[in-house]
Amino acid sequence: MNADAQVRKYYYPSLLTAGETNELIDEANERFAKEGFGFLAVERKADGALIGGAGLSRPGPEVPGEFPLEIGWILGRAYWRQGYATEISQHCLDFAWQELRAYCVIGYTSAINIPSRHTMEKIGMIHVDGGDFDDITVPPGNILRPHVLYRIDRPKQEIHE
């Protein structure tokens, strides 16, 4: 997936080598071991096919503001537009509310990433007024530098449980 230009269209850097991907996996495993949550491989229930990765993490310094968690996902091209990102995201949000007791979760992406923005809206996230920012991890002038910030607050029924 990380070597597929279509999958990595909205990511910087756009393509990753196998070695870089392995480093990301190692980092994700370390974070998961340390915090008990993180980005994980996602397998399709029906046949165990690896369809992508998704999860929750702590937002990086490129994100303005103080937020407890961010949600994210990446899916192989063969698994786009089948509802997987929405389903995966809902499970991540359920975990954030019920297990981590988070008061909110954010999502962010390059402003031009309409598919991910649509998914964020579909799961109930709201575009944060005045929250857009330039991602400092992307070089100035790059089309992926302008980012949008979305947020969803913990549902009221989850607060009282």
For residues 105 and 96, the answer to whether their CB atoms sit within 8 Å is: yes
Domains of the chain in sequence order: 18-159 (3.40.630.30)
For residues 144 and 12, the answer to whether their CB atoms sit within 8 Å is: yes
The pLDDT assigned to 22 comes to: 96
The pLDDT assigned to 157 comes to: 77
Sign, Cα dihedral of 136, 137, 139, 144: negative
The series of mean pLDDT values per 10 residues for the chain, 161 residues long, is 96 94 96 96 96 97 95 97 97 97 98 97 97 97 98 83 55
